[in-house]
Amino acid sequence: MSVKRFCLLSFVRFNPFVATLTVAIFHAFIATAGADASPPATLAASVVHVSADAGPSLIGLVPTATATGFFVSDNLVLTCNHLTRVEGWWKRSEANRFSVSLGRGVTAPARLVMRDETSDLALLLVDLPACGPAAWPSLSVGKFSLKPGDDVAVVANFPDDVRLVRGPLLATDHPDNFAVAGAKVRDGYSGGPILGPAGDVQGMLSQRDDDDNAMFVRSSVIREFLHEYQKLSGEKIKALSASAKPYAKKRRGR
């Protein structure tokens, strides 16, 4: 599919009527979805597949690492920092090439612009196609408000096969600003957004425990990380503003 046609389809998909309808579908989906289900199409556009490599090895092979990521602003994708360390045949190497699969056969190069090894956060600047960032809306990163027992959803891109798994929040006080949810995750979910009941991002998946429960960085840490980048770069981060809440819009009462 051509980039021109892809942009046209994306524009149609994100018209106000479709976006409003998707909000209702998403909230109903969160309440009823089972493990490894397919999320709404508009949510899938925000969650991407990320690849990293460190170039050819001495024997000519190119070890790669893959993860999920999600748009937090125009051209900016948040993912897990451990993606930047590629496992080779005899050692781990620092990744120096990144690419983001945007869906429908479109792949774009990216580069690392900021990282936090302690919190397992990495920010990539993506060279988007000519149709621009409107085709890949940013997700809102809200203030952390989850309580034990709250339903959360974890989204992953494998790629071109975006999946969602849900489960209850188990703990919010895990060491190093992490939280744990009973959503059972597998390889490929790392870097994916953790969505709360309101539909905003409440964290980012970092790893899983021995029972495959989701261990994630809390959104309060992510917000500090993005605020720091915003301060250093002078760029406004959409994920920190109310305009980036496609799934958290409240219905008006009559």
Domains and their CATH numbers in the chain: 3-44+139-221 (2.40.10.10), 45-137 (2.40.10.10)
pLDDT category at 250 given cuts 50, 70, 90 is very low
How far is CA 250 from each of CA 85, 148, 199, rounded to the nearest angstrom?
40, 23, 10
What is the overall mean pLDDT for the chain?
Answer: 80
71 neighbors 137 (Cβ within 8 angstroms):
yes
Q: Tens of pLDDT along 28-81?
A: 444 444 456 767 667 888 999 999 887 765 555 667 889 999 999 999 999 999
The reported pLDDT for the residue numbered 60 is 56
Split at pLDDT 50, 70, 90, the class of 98 is very high
Query: The pTM is what?
Result: 0.79
- Counting beta carbons within 10 angstroms of the beta carbon of residue 73, is it exposed (0 to 12), middle (13 to 18) or buried (19 or more)? buried
Provide the phi-psi class of 150: left if phi over 0, else alpha when psi is between -120 and 50, else beta: beta
Which residue matches tokens 């005899």? 90
Q: Return phi, psi of residue 116, to 5°.
A: -140, 100
- % of the chain with per-residue pLDDT over 70: 72
Least-confidence region, from 36-45, 119-128, 146-155: 36-45
pLDDT attached to residue 25: 41
Contact 192, 152 (CB under 8 A): no
Q: How many Å apart are CA 101 and CA 11, to the nearest integer?
A: 19
Closest Cα partner for 27 from 241, 197, 208, 252? 197
d(CA 39, CA 30): 9
What Rg, from alpha-carbon coordinates, does the chain have?
Answer: 17
